[in-house]
Amino acid sequence: MLTIGPYRLKNPFILAPMAGVSEQPFRVLAFRLGAALCPTELVSAQGLFRVNERSLRYLRHDPQVEIPYSLQLFGGEPEVMAQAAVIGKQWGAQLIDVNMGCPVKKVTKSGAGSALLCDAPRAGEVVRQIRAATGLPVTAKIRSGWDAHQKNFLAMADELGAAGVAALAVHPRTRAQGYSGKADWTVIADLKRHVGDKFPIIGNGDVKTVADATRMREQTGCDFVMIGRGALGNPWLFRELLGGPKPTPQERCETVLDHFRAHLAFVSDGRVERDKTRTPEEVAAFSRLAAVKQFRKHMGWYAHGLFGASAFRNTINTLEDVAELERRVEQFFLGAKEDAQGADEEQDLDYRTALG
């Protein structure tokens, strides 16, 4: 089953929504390298409902490339979620994805994210009201449950199915587990067996290689495979999944630079017009610095598994000048060789910061 609602996707591989990562430049890159769907990072329904400028900026996307454009919302109140989805639709959203897995307290304390796992009827109501208000297909992304004692993914699937969900993604860890331990793929298999062909199941969790994706599909029968951390610094994974090559050093270097420039443009976009308290030069310098700091994590991920990665990371973390950074990127990536030992290092990621 390669369809979600009215959309026939070109393949079964989906980029996971990731806060601070799945922004327009990275989504466009992943789409271009073969991903069939790249939902936005989680966007606050309250923020959209209150027409908060910062939340609205998350809705920027490239309608030429991002087809279908899937907007992930988080919120606990069905009416607010529905109103936010209407705004999302006005901005071009073609699919609405509901976050029912975020473990962060700031999100769950308002009944949103994984707190919806504790109230399946309300989760169903969120889906129902968004569908009624927008007429758009609605997907949801859940965890296996709140904790080891409440793994209610099957009950959630029943409730969301009855509400007319167009597809269901599952990250098979509980809320209590956060990102620790191994994703339990038997949850995905149980879910697929339970749901059958009523709606597609999107398996997620710990897919880092082509072999992992193949294993997940074989072991669980899931319709789609969603990849998060495995795509950090390696968006070419989507091309490899379709039988394409790994990047050459030249291509890797060009992509890092293109992504960096797209990110600079994305962050500065519209700021000069909005910020009347500073001179245009000050605003430009301010947003350039913000973009440079945000992009350091991507550069670190791109360097992962290459000789000299940690020295490169240390260097770029001290640099603020765009031209100097670009020079260092060229110097490092053009000559970069794979480091079999370095590839085993745990990636430098603080999920709580990224999600906070």
Ligand X SMILES: Cc1cc2nc3c(=O)[nH]c(=O)nc-3n(C[C@H](O)[C@H](O)[C@H](O)COP(=O)(O)O)c2cc1C
Contact residues: ligand X, CB under 6 A:
16-19, 21, 41-42, 72, 99, 101-102, 141, 171, 204-207, 227-230, 351, 354-355
CB of 230 to ligand X, least distance (A): 5
- Give the residue from 5, 351, 355 showing the smallest Cα distance to 168: 5
Rank residues 286 and 351 by Cβ distance to ligand X and give the closer one: 351
CB 29 within 8 A of CB 255: yes
Report the residue number, 5 or 101, with the smaller CB distance to ligand X. 101
Nearer to ligand X, 61 or 229 (CB): 229
Burial 67-102 (b: 16+ CB within 10 A, else e): ebbbbbbbbbbbebbbbbbbbbbeeebbbbbbbbbb
- Cis amide prior to 249 (ω within 30 degrees): no
Please say which residue, 331 or 353, places its beta carbon nearer to ligand X. 353
Q: 51: which 2 tokens? A: 């027409």
In the chain, count H helices and then E strands. 16, 10
The residue (of 137 and 205) whose beta carbon lies closer to ligand X is 205
Shortest gap between Cβ of 250 and ligand X (angstroms)?
28
Shorter beta-carbon distance to ligand X: residue 205 or 300: 205
CA-based radius of gyration for the chain: 20
Question: CB of 246 within 8 A of CB of 236?
Answer: yes
Residue 166 CA to residue 169 CA, distance in Å, equals 10
Between 102 and 115, CB nearer to ligand X: 102
- Residue 38 catalytic? no
Closest distance between ligand X and the C-beta of residue 106, in Å? 12
In the complex, least distance from residue 72 CB atom to ligand X, rounded to whole angstroms: 6
Q: Which residue, chain included where needed, has tokens 């020079």?
A: 327
The single-letter DSSP state of residue 118 is G
CB of 20 to ligand X, least distance (A): 6
How is residue 249 written in tokens? 């050093």
Quote the least distance from Cβ 180 to ligand X, whole Å. Answer: 12
Is 296 strand, coil or helix? helix
Closest separation in Å from C-beta 101 to ligand X: 5
Q: What is the distance between the alpha carbons of residues 141 and 202, in angstroms, rounded to a whole number?
A: 9
Q: Spot the catalytic one: 38, 102, 222, 253.
A: 102
Closest residue by beta carbon to ligand X: 228
The length of the chain in residues reads 356
* Active site amino acids: 102
